[in-house]
Structure 1
Amino acid sequence: MDMRPHPFEPPAPLPRTVPPGRLEIIRTILRNPLELWGEPSHTLPWIHTRFFRERTLIVNDPGLIRHVLVDNAANYRMSDIRQLILRPILRDGLLTAEGEVWKRSRKAVAPVFTPRHANGFAGQMLRQSEDYARKYQAAGSEGKVFEIAADMTELTFAILADTLFSGEIVTSSDSFADDVNALLHRMGRVDPMDLLRAPSWVPRLTRIGGQKVLDKFRNIVRQTMNARLARMQANRAATPDDFLTLLLDQAASGGLTNDEIEDNILTFIGAGHETTARALAWTLYCVANTQHIREAMEEEIDRVLARDVEPVKWLDLMPYTRAAFEEALRLYPPAPSINRAAIAADRWTDAKGETVEIEAGVTVLIMPWTLHRHELYWDKPRAYLPERFLPENRGKIGRFQFLPFGAGPRVCIGATFALQEAVIALAVLMHRFRFDLTDQTKPWPVQKLTTQPQNGLPMCVTPRSLPKSA
């Protein structure tokens, strides 16, 4: 008899069984695009369809995904809708730039994420996580309710500010989580004018009020740049050799323009930590619903921390903690869609000889949200089962079956950074505290650029009673 607990299925929209009408499509996209997808998106390898007269290919087959993102990536540009949403915010930042501008930015940023920086990053991640844990220390033995989704945004911002900017971002983090939420709520949404492919100068009514928050972020970036430039000019030898200095040096050498530097700094301040923050919050929520998983994580974390091992080694020494985080990434991918458009006609043939014809101009949607819950590629796709990602099972997961960080030339440059940050933060927090559900913990995933918990994630945080050896 199988005595294992019944797997926890976190909240998510069920696949639609009836195709929505045109008006319902508009309402759903504006409310929550995650609620749009039907059974075919969770059961078929690819689907040809049309959205508002636009030819669209929805891709789930890992082989076809590899073809689009890697093998023939040069034939696929960013889709129009994606750019209409993101470019007003990030302009020519790394996430939105294309062509030579993107190549320059990627080359400029890459040195920061080389392995030689890992030791320093890990130590800073540990320090910031320990500092943030003091916020929960005052909860007392009876515990206290905190808004975990906002807290994880604050924590990952503190880590990003310390690691990439040496703590010299000219802002206070007191209202930063609120500002990020306001920016994504106002600016990071599909507007009806986007669906109609209206030019960018046509006003987007859903984004009224967002420009004020965006202007605030832009002002933060300019102040940060000016402060660092003044420090570099006053004493270059004493200036931190970090992400910010690296970018500003690019301006001096002609590698990037001042505007491109500003766009990339805004990209990392506004979005560089957001994906990790969302995944951390979803992880703590899923773990709180699965007692046996929480106990396994606590045992692993306590054991490693008792050995006083350097934090840079935690990612390898805590496979269960990493697996718990990656399973949350699967169920709640922070970036739930990858959008491309075919430049020229293309075709791809699968192992069975079936050919997919892709006409020039077709929009290609690769949806981690549906891919990660697809019945062809996952056993019990809706269940939270971290053991999928344990070392002995990882070989069963195809490279293009699990895409929390994308793939190909535009794969997330900070993927290893994010995994290391997540494991260190989870280890520090779960070593000291228990995160439990409350009557108000009723999240619902909504897509606002990232996969966010509607209604937040209020959780009761209580100090753990650790054994003396821990």
Structure 2
Amino acid sequence: MSTALPATNSPGPESAPRPFRAPAPVPHAEPLGFFGFIQTATRNPIEIWGTRAFKEPYVRGSWLGVPNIVINDPDSVRHCLVDNAKNYVMQPLRQRLLRPLLRDGLLTAEGQLWRRTRKAIAPVFTPRHIAGFTEPMAARSEQMADRLEALEGRELDISHEMTLLTFDILQATLFSDDIASEPEGFARSTRDFLGSMGRVDPLDLLGAPAFLPRLRRLKGRRSMAYFRGLIVETIEKRKSQMAAGGNDVPNDLLTLLLKADGLSRDEIEDNIITFIGAGHETTARSLAWTLYLLSQAPEERAKVEAEIDRVLPTLSHPSQYLDALPQTRAVFEEAMRLYPPAPSLNRTALAPDNVGDLEIPAGATLLVMPWLIHRHEMLWDRPDHFIPSRFLPENRDAIDRFQYLPFGVGPRICIGASFAMQEAVIALAILMRRLRFDFVGAAHPAVVQRITVQPDGGLPMRASRR
């Protein structure tokens, strides 16, 4: 393995406006120690990283006698998560955190169950099927623009508003408006669900048995019960519709799960909660971060607005937006670089492995962290700054496939990646064509990890008509 990684993605002429430095926890210079690590990891996991993790191709450590290896080198990422993916299974700590929420959903299932579930769901996410979703994506984005126009001048938490939007789009596309939920109640429950159930508990870090209660997650039980009840009601409604026959049963995610061979009732519920409780949340957070970053970079916002004003009138269908709006797409991709929706991809090695001069023993924890790789000093020029031009078509070849991992990588790459990209560009184009968003917080947001990367306390913004 090389000891240095090439810097890429030069931002352009020195005369260009100074880019915005996106807020993030400051890496610590000294080791945290045992108790400091537990305290920091339970408060905010992305604060555990020291300066070495952002500078070196790999970092070795151990926890409770288990070797921990952080890999930041793109070639090593490819080897471990693609070429030799069968040697790496889900890491126990990750599963202890996520399985209480998602149980046997696609994100946490393994082995034959994962393969069976992914095969059942795959038809929903073909390019042709996703293109059919773009009209409802656009329609629900227009409705959100109407809502925000009516609230013009008021201080809004744009994170909350984007949760409402992505839930509405999820409803209209993957579940054909059959989720029986009031949007505001759903958004509040999502916040409580991820904010409580998604927190690391000290018992998780110490490898305690699952039957011991995690006090930090007790608050989330009410939202868990809410989601489970919502799912049962949704399933029963659709099953009655399917039993009645006729041609009006939608061929959406819900129907495909109910028709899938070998999936139990509990597994169907688990997959629905994975999508409605977590799947939409990643896009919501990324949209909110994009609008915040643009509010801090007026010159970048002006480029997006100019592109939208120039291009949108020439397009006949929202399925064309993604390819026709490279500047809009670039700001969203840069936001996902700075605030990756899934900040960690953790595995356990089943057998010993070698990557160059790096030895990975059996049982070692392998840490592939988009949070680190996306801000790594040897991979990116000015890695902490908002520079969307990195992702313009003429610059994309400079980005290694395995140094940018917003949707994961390898066999377990996010099945909804194309769906999310279409949704995000359509939503940004429609909202920003009509509205301008300005940050009104007293200070820049603190960044915390609660499964997704979130702004602590939300993102206070005002929307005004352009």
TM-score norm. by structure 2 comes to 0.96
Which residue is equivalent to 2:253?
243
Name the SS of the counterpart of 2:393 in structure 1: coil
Between the aligned partners of 2:275 and 2:431, the Cα distance in structure 1 is 24
Shift of 1:452: 0.4
Preserved CA contact (<8 Å) 1:148 1:281: yes
Between the aligned partners of 1:152 and 1:219, the Cα distance in structure 2 is 24
Preserved CA contact (<8 Å) 2:322 2:421: yes
Which runs of structure 1 show a deviation greater than 2 angstroms over 4 or more consecutive aligned residues? 51-54, 439-442
**Larger displacement relative to structure 2 (1-10 or 443-452):** 1-10
Which residue is equivalent to 2:326?
319
Deviations 1:300-330 (A, max 9, x none): 0111222243110100000000000000000
Q: Which amino acid aligns with 1:383?
A: H
Which residue is equivalent to 1:343?
350
Shift of 1:118: 2.6
Which residue is equivalent to 1:163?
173
Which residue is equivalent to 1:28?
40
Preserved CA contact (<8 Å) 2:149 2:463: no
Between the aligned partners of 1:426 and 1:287, the Cα distance in structure 2 is 11
1:113 and 2:115 are equivalent in the alignment: no
1:203 and 2:213 are equivalent in the alignment: yes
Name the SS of the counterpart of 1:272 in structure 2: helix
Shift of 1:259: 1.5
1:78 and 2:80 are equivalent in the alignment: no
Between the aligned partners of 1:100 and 1:236, the Cα distance in structure 2 is 33
Q: Select 2:108's aligned residue among 93, 96, 108.
A: 96
Q: Which amino acid aligns with 2:187?
A: A
Shift of 1:139: 3.2
Preserved CA contact (<8 Å) 1:441 1:459: no
Between the aligned partners of 1:393 and 1:259, the Cα distance in structure 2 is 46
Q: Select 1:275's aligned residue among 278, 282, 291.
A: 282
Between the aligned partners of 2:371 and 2:130, the Cα distance in structure 1 is 30
**Larger displacement relative to structure 2 (276-285 or 112-121):** 112-121
Matches within 5 A, 1:454-469: 454-464=456-466
Identity of matched residues, %: 52
Preserved CA contact (<8 Å) 1:442 1:455: no
1:127 and 2:139 are equivalent in the alignment: yes
Preserved CA contact (<8 Å) 2:157 2:459: yes
Matches within 5 A, 1:389-468: 389-440=391-442, 442-464=444-466
1:292 and 2:316 are equivalent in the alignment: no
Which residue is equivalent to 1:305?
312
Q: Which amino acid aligns with 1:317?
A: A
Shift of 1:441: 5.5
Deviations 1:247-295 (A, max 9, x none): 1111xxx332222111111111101101000000000000000111000
User: How many residues are paired up?
Assistant: 454
Matches within 5 A, 1:40-59: 40-59=52-71
Shift of 1:144: 2.1
Q: Select 1:191's aligned residue among 181, 188, 201.
A: 201
- Could you tell me which runs of 5 or more consecutive residues in structure 1 were left unpaired when the two chains were aligned: 350-354, 465-470
Name the SS of the counterpart of 1:392 in structure 2: helix
Name the SS of the counterpart of 2:454 in structure 1: strand
Which residue is equivalent to 1:381?
383
1:225 and 2:235 are equivalent in the alignment: yes
**Larger displacement relative to structure 2 (185-194 or 437-446):** 437-446
Name the SS of the counterpart of 1:460 in structure 2: strand
Between the aligned partners of 2:442 and 2:59, the Cα distance in structure 1 is 39
Between the aligned partners of 1:321 and 1:308, the Cα distance in structure 2 is 15
Q: Which amino acid aligns with 2:280?
A: H
Which residue is equivalent to 2:156?
146
Shift of 1:53: 2.7
How well do the aligned residues superpose, as a CA RMSD in angstroms?
1.1
Q: Which amino acid aligns with 2:258?
A: L
Preserved CA contact (<8 Å) 1:283 1:325: yes
Between the aligned partners of 1:284 and 1:26, the Cα distance in structure 2 is 33
Between the aligned partners of 2:14 and 2:272, the Cα distance in structure 1 is 52
Deviations 1:56-98 (A, max 9, x none): 0111011111111100000100000000011111111000000
Shift of 1:236: 3.8
Between the aligned partners of 1:338 and 1:15, the Cα distance in structure 2 is 20
Q: Select 1:64's aligned residue among 76, 81, 97.
A: 76
Which residue is equivalent to 2:269?
262
Between the aligned partners of 1:439 and 1:246, the Cα distance in structure 2 is 44
Between the aligned partners of 2:173 and 2:158, the Cα distance in structure 1 is 22
Which residue is equivalent to 1:467?
none
Preserved CA contact (<8 Å) 1:182 1:213: yes
Between the aligned partners of 1:125 and 1:341, the Cα distance in structure 2 is 38
Preserved CA contact (<8 Å) 2:308 2:325: yes
**Larger displacement relative to structure 2 (211-220 or 98-107):** 211-220
Between the aligned partners of 2:246 and 2:198, the Cα distance in structure 1 is 38
- Could you tell me which runs of 5 or more consecutive residues in structure 2 were left unpaired when the two chains were aligned: 1-12
Preserved CA contact (<8 Å) 1:327 1:384: yes
Q: Which amino acid aligns with 1:366?
A: V
Shift of 1:415: 0.5
Shift of 1:2: 3.6
**Larger displacement relative to structure 2 (379-388 or 26-35):** 26-35
Q: Select 1:366's aligned residue among 362, 368, 376.
A: 368
1:87 and 2:89 are equivalent in the alignment: no
